[in-house]
Structure 1
Amino acid sequence: MPLLEACGVHGGYGGMNILHGVDISIEANEVGVIIGPNGAGKSTMLKAIFGLLQVTEGEIRLRGAPIHNQPPNRLVKLGMGFVPQEHNVFPSLSVQENLEMGAYLKPGSIKHNLGNIYEFFPPLKDKRRQPAGELSGGQRQMVAMGRALMAEPQLLLLDEPTAGLSPKYMNEIFERVKEINSAGVGILMVEQNAKQALAIADKGFVLAAGQNRFTDTGQALLADPDVARSFLGG
């Protein structure tokens, strides 16, 4: 059974639907990428999965069990992590304190998990005593991802993890995404850097106006002339 399966999801804000029947499915060993124009409902879909907005119709399942409209703290206990695009670190806390904040459900595994995070993100070990607010944008993103991983999720949701980053850090974040997935964490991320994201994706979901426009493997979507023309800049 899929790690995550969303079927016909409708939802939005203030009684107004932004999602109009979105379908998404990924396996535990896969990287899934959601792309599409601004306002397509990409980040809204991640928030619906993580219980941050009301699903009004449809179903979301984690390992076959319905999870839609459950609170985020419950979803973290069930094995889900979420890294928002903005305000995703505690700037006055040190790097290590930020990471330890993510281990509140796994207090006995802090030392072991810190070692894993420093292996995934070597720059953080040298800066572990530095306030997170003093780091570069790319390093702050590493802290945010690392903190989510401290809870040992089976599924990690990433909202625009490379937004505003230099090409160097963008490539590094994508490399780390692949490594984290290879270590056994399923990943679903929203990305504006669509070509680069689809290049590492097992599955891609192209949304437009809150609906699936295309769904296929990352490589198939990159090769699709209709996708390229409408969503990848030609």
Structure 2
Amino acid sequence: MSLLKVENVVAGYGEAMILNGVNLELEAGEIGVIVGPNGAGKSTTLKAIFGLLRVSSGRVMFDGQEITNRPTDSLSALRMAFVPQEHNVFKTLSVHENLEMGAYVRRDDVSGLLDRVYDIFPPLKDKRRQPAGELSGGQRQMVAVGRALMIDPKLILLDEPTAGLSPRYMSEIFDRILVVNASGVTVAMVEQNAKQALGIAHKGFVLAGGRNRFTDTGAALLADPDVAKSFLGG
């Protein structure tokens, strides 16, 4: 049984439909990457999955139940987490306080989860008392992902996790995503750095005009000359 299944989803803003029948399916333990040109509906797909945008038709299934248009807080309780591209940390709070905020829905001891996050993102441990707003862009992104991990998610949705980062931090974030996935978390990720993202993906979904243009393994999409010519810069 699939952990996440998006079936013929149509969604948009007002009367403007951005998604025109998007399909996506991930098994537990996979990394799925959504790529495509600007305006293709990549980030809109994540927002529709997480209930931040109303689905007009189609459905979203998660862990065996339909979650179409469910409130986002109920999805957190089902162990789905979302990391937006921007405004994803509390800048005046310390790194440690940011992580603790991620566990607001939990009523149990989260010390083990904190240790896990610091193990996945070692640079954060030395900066745990520093305000998140004083960190580099790459370190802030680590805080944002780390905070999402504090609900012990089955699935984490990442919207452009390497946007605006230096090549060094871009590579490090991709490496950390692999570690997150190896810890048992399924990942659905939108990325503009398509080649690097498809390089770590079990499955890739190329969107254009709010529809699936190509769907295959990450390796197969990287090797496809039509994908390379149209979406990967040759």
Q: Which TM-score band (shorter chain)?
A: over 0.9
SS in structure 2 at match of 1:45: helix
Report what 1:15 is aligned to: 15
Q: Give, in angstroms, the shift of residue 64 of structure 1.
A: 2.0
For 1:107 and 1:167, the matched residues in 2 are separated by 39
Q: How does 1:210-225 map to 2 (within 5 A)?
A: 210-225=210-225
Report what 1:70 is aligned to: 70
For 2:108 and 2:62, the matched residues in 1 are separated by 25
SS in structure 1 at match of 2:104: coil
Letter paired with 1:36: G
For 2:188 and 2:16, the matched residues in 1 are separated by 25
Letter paired with 1:37: P
For 2:130 and 2:107, the matched residues in 1 are separated by 22
Q: Deviations over 1:105-162 (max 9, x none)?
A: 2242321111000000000000000000000000000000000000111000000000
For 1:233 and 1:116, the matched residues in 2 are separated by 38
Letter paired with 1:179: V
Report what 1:141 is aligned to: 141
Report what 2:158 is aligned to: 158
Q: Give, in angstroms, the shift of residue 63 of structure 1.
A: 1.4
For 2:48 and 2:130, the matched residues in 1 are separated by 34
Q: Give, in angstroms, the shift of residue 41 of structure 1.
A: 0.3
Q: TM-score, normalised by structure 1?
A: 0.99
Report what 1:85 is aligned to: 85
Higher mean C-alpha deviation, range 24-33 or range 10-19: 10-19
For 1:209 and 1:109, the matched residues in 2 are separated by 45
Percent identical across equivalent pairs?
67
SS in structure 2 at match of 1:108: coil
For 2:179 and 2:200, the matched residues in 1 are separated by 11
Report what 1:25 is aligned to: 25
Report what 2:34 is aligned to: 34
Q: Give, in angstroms, the shift of residue 207 of structure 1.
A: 0.2
1:102 partnered with 2:102: yes
Q: How does 1:148-187 map to 2 (within 5 A)?
A: 148-187=148-187
Report what 1:121 is aligned to: 121
Letter paired with 1:194: A
Q: Deviations over 1:27-82 (max 9, x none)?
A: 11100000000000000000000000110010100012100100110100011000
Letter paired with 1:166: S
Letter paired with 1:229: K
Letter paired with 2:20: H
Q: Deviations over 1:173-209 (max 9, x none)?
A: 1111111111110000000000000000000000001
Question: What is the root-mean-square deviation of aligned Cα atoms in Å?
Answer: 0.7
Q: Which runs of 5+ in 2 are unaligned?
A: none
Letter paired with 2:51: G
Q: Give, in angstroms, the shift of residue 15 of structure 1.
A: 3.0
1:50 partnered with 2:83: no
Q: TM-score, normalised by structure 2?
A: 0.99
For 1:192 and 1:142, the matched residues in 2 are separated by 18
SS in structure 2 at match of 1:161: coil
Letter paired with 2:211: Q
SS in structure 2 at match of 1:88: coil
Q: Deviations over 1:7-41 (max 9, x none)?
A: 00000111321000000000111000000000000
1:209 partnered with 2:190: no
Q: Give, in angstroms, the shift of residue 169 of structure 1.
A: 0.7
Report what 1:226 is aligned to: 226
For 2:99 and 2:88, the matched residues in 1 are separated by 12
For 1:115 and 1:60, the matched residues in 2 are separated by 33
